[in-house]
């Protein structure tokens, strides 16, 4: 897998995570559990192996953007991330 492809997978997975926050109606500072997130990613991903390969990097990307933070049970949507969802911004 080349660098561009890997980068695209990370960005695509990060966007799918943001789509999951939207789909589940996640509010600021609420946690979207991995029990909900992982089946969503499996269903929505074009190639499920890609999200599995890039999930941690996608989480890191969202953390750097201050849109989500890791939680022991899943990912916590931040105020910044919630506002990005409301404004239709892409990850």
Q: CATH number for 3-86: choose from 3.40.50, 1.10.10, 1.10.1070, 1.10.3470.
A: 1.10.10
What residues does each domain of the chain span?
3-86
The yes-or-no verdict on residue 14 having pLDDT over 60 is yes
pLDDT of 41: 93
Pairing of strands 74-77, 68-71: antiparallel
In terms of Cβ atoms closer than 10 Å to its own Cβ (0-12, 13-18, 19+), residue 1 is exposed
Sign of CA dihedral 85, 87, 90, 91: negative
What's the pTM value of the predicted model, to 2 decimals? 0.89
How close are the terminal C-alpha atoms of the chain, in Å? 22
pLDDT of 48: 66
Note the pLDDT tens digit of each residue in 20-79.
999 999 999 999 999 999 999 999 887 767 677 789 999 999 999 999 999 999 999 999
pLDDT band at 7 (very low <50, low <70, confident <90, very high): confident
Task: Tokens 């991995």: give the residue.
Answer: 34
């Amino acid at each position: 897998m080349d660098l561009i492809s890997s980068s695209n997978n990370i960005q695509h997975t990060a966007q799918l995570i943001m789509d999951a926050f939207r789909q589940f109606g996640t509010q600021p500072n609420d946690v979207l559990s991995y029990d909900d997130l992982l089946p969503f990613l499996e269903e929505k991903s074009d190639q499920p192996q890609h999200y599995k390969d890039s999930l941690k990097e996608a989480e890191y990307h969202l953390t750097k953007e201050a849109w989500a933070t890791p939680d022991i049970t899943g990912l916590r949507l931040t105020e910044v991330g919630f506002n990005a969802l409301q404004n239709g911004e892409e990850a």
